[in-house]
Amino acid sequence: MTRAEIRVMQALLAEYPTVGFGTVANLARRAGVSDPTVVRLVGKLGFAGFPAFQRALLEEVEERLRSPLMMIEAQPAAPGDPAGAYLRSLEPVLAESRGRDLPLAYERATAMLLDRKARIWLIGGRFSRYLAGIFHTHLVQLRPGVRHLDGTKAETLDVLVDLGRQDVVVVFDYRRYQADVVGFARQAVERGARILLFTDLYRSPIAAAAQVLFTAPVAAGSAFDTMVPALAQIEALLVCLLQARDAATHRRLKAIETVRRSNRVTMDEPEDDAKG
């Protein structure tokens, strides 16, 4: 792209996607370029013209805001074996997720999460809070200073008072993005916290402020979005964390096992005959 075309891209991303719904002249004026430059860029992006580009933007906005009811009405019932059809639909979704993830993102996320000077806070939306809970349950075994923000709205907002540059907020936010999650993350950034974001392909509004970003496809053979690719990303990141573990992490895991064994947490722990 030319420098002028890059300025158009920057203008689009600065107010994406709303600025794309105006006229060619309006977008050109915002970018400080000529009208033909905008038209040339749209052609380079693969569109037949500016109207086709705007139709694609509109389709993306509709995808981002699509509710389960809308998807049920638009999606025909799967004949025969609906469960099998759904499970097969996950295979290309996982493959797409694998192609999108970059090793650098996992490296940076690993460094952020293993920084013993940082406190880790996890937060998610209506469904994605369960992803935050799963990740939290693993992280507390690897390091201290980890908390899942799963209380009332007032309790969550109170945490903002304590946030600063030594904090990492792990956010899970997927389409039909949740206002309270977005609001909390933005205020955390204002207080100096770093953001590790898990979101969908359309990207939560928090994406612009995230230091590390993981995106996952959420559309599969169901009216409801799938969390399978996001869970796979969490488990892949856990593999990276375990490979990067240090002596302190090993001691912590060993101590946890000792406590569990002494309290017979799981059914496979033998009773201590000496105590009998």
> What digits encode the pLDDT tens for the residues 29-41?
999 999 999 999 9
Q: Could you tell me if 171 and 226 lie in one domain?
A: yes
Q: Could you tell me if 47 and 100 lie in one domain?
A: no
Predicted pLDDT of residue 16: 79
109, two tokens: 């996320």
> Could you give the CA distance from residue 272 to residue 276 in angstroms, rounded to a whole number?
7
> Could you give the CA distance from residue 222 to residue 87 in angstroms, rounded to a whole number?
10
CATH of the domain at 45: 1.10.10.10
Tell me how far CA of residue 40 lies from CA of 13, 14, 23, 58, 107, in angstroms: 17, 20, 15, 20, 37
CATH of the domain at 136: 3.40.50.10490
Q: Is residue 179 part of a domain?
A: yes
Mean pLDDT over all residues of the chain? Answer: 88
Q: Could you tell me if 116 and 196 lie in one domain?
A: yes
Map tokens 């430059």 to a residue: 37
Please tell me which residue, 70 or 93, carries the higher pLDDT value: 93
Q: Is residue 265 part of a domain?
A: no
Amino acid at 96: E
Each residue's pLDDT tens digit, 122-138: 999 999 999 999 999 99
Confidence band of 66 (pLDDT split at 50, 70, 90): low
pLDDT at 106 over 90: yes
Q: Is residue 119 part of a domain?
A: yes
Q: Is residue 230 part of a domain?
A: yes
Q: Is residue 88 part of a domain?
A: no
Split into its structural domains, the chain has a count of 2
Give the helix ranges, DSSP H, for the chain.
3-14, 24-31, 35-44, 50-65, 68-74, 82-100, 103-113, 129-142, 153-158, 179-190, 228-243, 247-262
Give the structural domain span for 167: 95-245
Q: Could you tell me if 150 and 241 lie in one domain?
A: yes
Q: Could you tell me if 33 and 126 lie in one domain?
A: no
Q: Could you tell me if 170 and 232 lie in one domain?
A: yes
Predicted pLDDT of residue 201: 87
The reported pTM is: 0.73
Predicted pLDDT of residue 79: 67
pLDDT at 153 over 80: yes
Could you tell me if 103 and 109 are in contact, meaning their C-beta atoms sit under 8 angstroms apart? no
Q: How far is CA 234 from the centre of its chain?
A: 10
pLDDT at 273 over 60: no
Amino acid at 243: Q
Least confident of 11-25, 36-50, 139-153, 177-191: 11-25
Other beta carbons within 10 angstroms of residue 85's beta carbon come to 13
Confidence band of 271 (pLDDT split at 50, 70, 90): low
Q: Could you tell me if 224 and 114 lie in one domain?
A: yes
Predicted pLDDT of residue 135: 98
